[in-house]
Amino acid sequence: MTRTVLITGGTGALGGAVTRRFLEDGHRVAATWVKEAELVPLRERLGDLAEGLTLARADVTDPAAVASLVDDVAGQLGPVEVLVHLVGAYAGSEPVHDHSIETWQRMLDLNLRSAFVCCRAVLPSMRERDWGRVVLVSSRTARSGRAGQAAYAVAKAGVGVLAETIAEEGVGTGVTANAVAPSALDTPANRAAMPNADPSRWVPPADAAAAIAFLASEAAGQLRGGWLPVFGSA
């Protein structure tokens, strides 16, 4: 069945893979962007599929901007039935005893606040229509390997708890929420940041996109509040 899918952060390496997957599956897709420089490469990667994509610039930490975004998508494509929240950011190398308040707040805002704001905006319509899929992105770091990454780990753990809470609140409805938790993704940025690592052990973005697409599907209706590890061979 064709659904209206909102993908936040749909222009990066993972975002492009997820956007491609949902377009290939025949859904009506809207994706948010912030960096204009990512738009041309995204369209080039998508090829003819780009013709079916709706793009919208939005600050997903701003409740008013997100409310306007959701209304605009509903007006163009229909009410949002699937939210895939990919927006996030990483910062590390700061142990708790020497952790900056600025990094702490930035990680919470970009990873957790953004997820909350977007979920809050789409859930009323999903609950009213008695069908919806919320897929959030946590991280392996939420549960292990957290030293020096307190803010990021806490924010991504919070994303998982947010999905669990939405799932509990959705009991008895057709609205589900789950989180995927990738380890390192095989992206150009990660290859540049970790030149001595073995990327063959990382997760290809297309594989993470497949897991996300499944959680958004009709077949995943009995999965609620899951934290799905997507760890590759690392």
Residue 102 reports pLDDT greater than 90: yes
Output the CATH code of domain 4-230. Answer: 3.40.50.720
CB 38 within 8 A of CB 63: no
Q: How confident is residue 193, by pLDDT bands cut at 50, 70 and 90?
A: confident
Radius of gyration for the chain, computed over Cα atoms and rounded to the nearest angstrom: 17
Residue 165 reports pLDDT greater than 70: yes
From 22, 116, 152, 227, the catalytic residue: 152
Calculate mean pLDDT across residues 101-125: 98
Is residue 152 annotated as a catalytic residue, yes or no? yes
Calculate mean pLDDT across residues 171-179: 98
Residue reference for tokens 């069945």: 1
Residue 119: what residue type? C
Q: How confident is residue 23, by pLDDT bands cut at 50, 70 and 90?
A: very high
